[in-house]
Homo-oligomer: A and B are copies of this chain.
Amino acid sequence: MTGAPDAHVAPGFPVVGVIGGGQLARMMQQPAIALGIGLRVLATSMQDSAAQAVRDVRIGRHDDLGALRAFAAGCDVVTFDHEHVPPLLLKTLQDEGVVVRPGGRALVHAQDKLIMREALTAASVPCPLWAEVETPSDVTAFAESAGWPVVLKTSRGGYDGRGVWVLDDAEAVHDLMTTTTLSDGARWLAEERVDFVQELSAQVARSPHGQAVAYPVVRTVQTDGICTEVVAPAPGLTDDEITAAQHAALTVAGALDVVGMLAVEMFETRDGRVLVNELAMRPHNSGHWSIDGAVTSQFENHLRAVLDLPLGDPSAIAPHAVMVNVLGGDKGDMYPAFLHCMARDPGLKVHMYGKDVRPGRKIGHVTVVGDDLDDLLDRAHHAADYLTGVIDE
C-alpha cells in the first residue's frame, strides 16, 4: 500500500471505498462529486482508469487481505468495480465489521454461475435449461433433453465471453473437457442454447432497507462476447415482456439480498419469454446510457443504494438512447479522432476511460439520445467506428 491524501468531505458526509480501479469506479466519481461523497479507490497502479479521477487512491491487490483491511479502514461502506474479490476475504472483512455492499453472500451469485442457477431456480426466476455436469457423458445426457448445441460454462472466473463455449456435439465436449483445467473452486455448468430474438438487460438498484427502482429494459448486442451496443429502451418488447423482465430483476435483487446496482442479462425468446442469462452486482456496461439518458445514472444510484440513501428516478429523459462501446484499434493517440467526432456531432456524448489503446480493449463509449432511433444508431456507430479506426471518414 502506498499513501495518498485521505478523502475529505463536509461534516456528516460518508466515504465510499471502491475495490478496483477500472472505468466503473472512474464513472462513480462523477455522481460522488455531485453528492458530496468521498470516494476512495483500491487500484493496482496510479495509472488505472479510476486512479486518475479521484484523490484518495490506495495501491493494492483485491486478493490481499492486508491491503483490503487497510483500504477499508476509514471507509463508511466498501463496494466494487468488479466481482473478483475472493468470497472468503469478503467474509473475513464483514466478520471484522467492515460494511461491504453488496455483501459476500449476495455477491457469490455473481461470482459462481452454478450457485446463481440454483438460487434463481429456487426463486422461480425463469432460466434456460441447465445442469451441473462433471463428465462429457453428463453433457451428452443433458443434450438429449436440451438439444444441441450445448452451452458449457465454467462456474467461476469467466467474463466478457471467457469461460463460455458453444459445443455442437459429443466429440467437441470431450475435447474441451479433457483439455481444460478448472480454476480453484470452479465447476462445470451445461445450459440450453437459447434461440433468442434479442439479448436484454434489466437493471435495478436496491438499498439495504429494501427500496428498489427498475430502469427501462434495454437491448444489448454482444460481439465476440463483449457488449458493443445498447439501445434503451429495447425495441419491440410487449408490455408483458417488459413487466416480466423487470419483475425477474426485482425478484432476483430481493431473493439474493442484493444491495447496489444489479444487472440481469436475459434472452428474449421467440415465444415471448425472458430467460435469465447472467448477473452483475455493480454498475454494468448495459447501463452506461443512463449517464446521459436517465434522470439518475446507474452510477449515482449505485452510490445512493450502498449508502442506504433514497434512490433516484431511473426514468429516461428522451424516447431513445444509444450507447456504443469504443474499442481500441490501431490509433495509439485517440485525440485527433476524438476532436473529429465532436466537430461532426455536437450532440454526441463521448466518454473516454484514460486507458492506453490495445486492440479490442474497452477504452470508452459514446452515447446519443433523441427521438429518431435510426439516426441515433448511425451517429453512435459512426463515432465509435471512427474512434476505433474502423472507418476514416
Contacts and interface: CB of A to CB of B under 8 A. Distances in A.
A34 B354 CA distance: 9
Given A8-B46, A55-B57, A13 B352 contact: yes
17 contacts: A8-B46, A8-B47, A8-B52, A8-B354, A10-B357, A11-B333, A11-B356, A13-B352, A34-B350, A34-B352, A36-B338, A36-B352, A36-B353, A36-B354, A53-B54, A55-B55, A295-B349
B34 A346 contact: no
B52 A350 contact: no
B36 A364 contact: yes
Interface in A32-77: 33-36, 38, 46-47, 51-55, 57
B30 A34 contact: yes
Interface of A: 4-5, 7-14, 26-27, 29-30, 33-36, 38, 46-47, 51-55, 57, 213, 291, 295-296, 304, 309-313, 315, 317-318, 332-336, 338-339, 342-343, 346-347, 349-357, 363-364
A329 B291 CA distance: 32
A363 to B, nearest CB: 8
Contacts of A27: 33
A352 B296 CA distance: 16
Contacts of A38: 52
Contacts of A14: 335
Given A13-B335, A26-B33, A317-B318, A304 B342 contact: yes
A366 to B, nearest CB: 10
Nearest to A291: B34
Nearest to A331: B12
B13 A354 contact: yes
A301 to B, nearest CB: 10
Given A10-B356, A52-B7, A57-B55, A35 B346 contact: no
A356 B9 CA distance: 9
Given A342-B309, A346-B310, A351 B10 contact: no
Contacts of A5: 4, 46, 57
Given A33-B27, A33-B53, A311 B346 contact: yes
Contact of A310 (B57, B317, B342, B349): B342
Nearest to A2: B5
Nearest to A10: B354
A313 B347 contact: yes
A11 B335 CA distance: 8
Nearest to A296: B346
A213 B26 CA distance: 29
Nearest to A346: B313
Nearest to A48: B8
Contacts of A296: 346
Contact of A53 (B12, B47, B55, B291): B55
3 cross-chain pairs, A with B, having the tightest CB-CB distances, nearest first: A36-B352, A12-B333, A12-B335
